[in-house]
Amino acid sequence: MSAALPSTVRGLLAGARERGVLLFGLTPPRRSASPEQVEEIARVTLARLTPLDVDALVLYDIDDESDRNPDERPFPYLPTMDPAVFHAEHLTGWHRPTVIYRCVGKYRDSELRDWLEATDPDRVATVFVGASSGSKLVHTVLSRAHALRRDTRPELALGGVAIPERHTRGGDEHLRLLAKQERGCGFFVTQVVYDVDATKSLVSDYHYTCRERGIEPQPIVFTLSVCGSLKTLSFLKWLGVAVPRWLENALRHAEDPLTESYEQCLANARELAAFCRRLGVPFGFNVESVSIRKVEIDASVALVGRLRPLLPG
């Protein structure tokens, strides 16, 4: 299969439309890591990823979201390396495209502009993420970041985040996707999905509104993440991921929550794939491990192997 994997962002985007893409999401090392530790992490990461059948790597940009949620964060917030630096300096052995997230509120206008101008649009796509709450003080708001990219680097492929839970609350997340699409977003990546019903509702509203307006739906990449412990479960919930009550019960009572959540992720992927095919909405999957425990990362890698057959081509 590796022969068909994209070496450029152009190939990645074409793949996303034609056959569905498979991504793997990673958080860069902590900023406190020594250069040797970072090298070792990069080495292990590449060893893990290279044999995997993924189309692109996703590197997150971690922001302190404690403003969004007053509850105690189950895992402490630790500043992480700039994903662009980790990519440019340590992942040179990765020859497929990389999607670099940008929490745009963290950056001044000029910082974002410099990064946009320095970034190779053949190898890198980006996803801009807005502020985690309305009250947060930010350097750059999302719409300004979109305008910056359009004015300085329109050839850099841009994606947006999609949050099904926001659709459950307000019923208008599909309109937010359409607004982002108008401002240049060519694909969407969801937050971690455990609430399939909410996700299907978002996709459905997006599909029918695109049809009404006579525009093409852009690929939606569903993020899946196994959950190997109750601590990871509370972290997912802290992050704003809705976990249906029955599934939370199943994980809490499972002898092996990791296997339970792995099977559930697969079942969810099957259901979302069938749903998108039926509507004709292009889709893909992104596997992310929200924890850094080895068993959870191993299960994430195993999950990737099971997802490719669910993609269209």
Q: Which residues bind a second copy (CB under 8 A)?
A: 167, 171, 195-197, 200-201, 203-205, 208, 244-246, 249-250, 253, 275
Minimum CB separation of residue 264 from a second copy in Å reads: 12
CB of 277: closest distance to a second copy in angstroms?
14
In the complex, least distance from residue 311 CB atom to a second copy, rounded to whole angstroms: 21
CB of 244 to a second copy, least distance (A): 5
Nearer to a second copy among residue 250 and residue 301 (C-beta): 250
Listing DSSP states for 158-198 in one string gives EEEEE-HHHHHHHS-HHHHHHHHHHTT--EEEEEEP--HHH
Nearer to a second copy, 84 or 196 (CB): 196
Which neighbouring-strand residues pair with 283? 220
Q: How far is the CB of 300 from a second copy (least distance, A)?
A: 25
Q: In Å, what is the CA distance from 114 to each residue of 108, 118, 149, 267?
A: 10, 6, 11, 43
The distance between the two most distant Cα atoms of the chain, rounded to a whole number of Å, is 54
Give the three-class secondary structure for 311.
coil
Give long-range contacts, CB 8 A cutoff, 24+ apart: 170-178.
171/205, 173/202, 173/205, 174/202, 174/205, 174/206, 174/209, 175/209, 177/206, 177/218, 178/206, 178/209, 178/210, 178/213, 178/215
Nearer to a second copy, 77 or 208 (CB): 208
Smallest separation (angstroms) from a second copy to the CB of 260: 11
Give min distance, CB of 282 to a second copy, in A: 17
Measured in degrees and rounded to the nearest 5, phi and psi for residue 141 equal -85, 160
Q: Smallest distance from the beta carbon of 168 to a second copy, in angstroms?
A: 9
Contact 220, 276 (CB under 8 A): yes
From CA 75, how far away is CA 66, in angstroms rounded? 12
Question: Which residues, in sequence order, are CB contacts of 111 under 8 Å at separation 6+?
Answer: 139
79 or 171, CB closer to a second copy? 171
Q: Which is nearer to a second copy, 35 or 253 (CB)?
A: 253
H-helix or E-strand containing 313?
Answer: none
Question: Is the Cβ of residue 238 or residue 275 nearer to a second copy in the bound state?
Answer: 275
CA angle 280, 285, 287 (to 5 degrees): 170
Nearer to a second copy by Cβ, of 200 and 308: the residue is 200
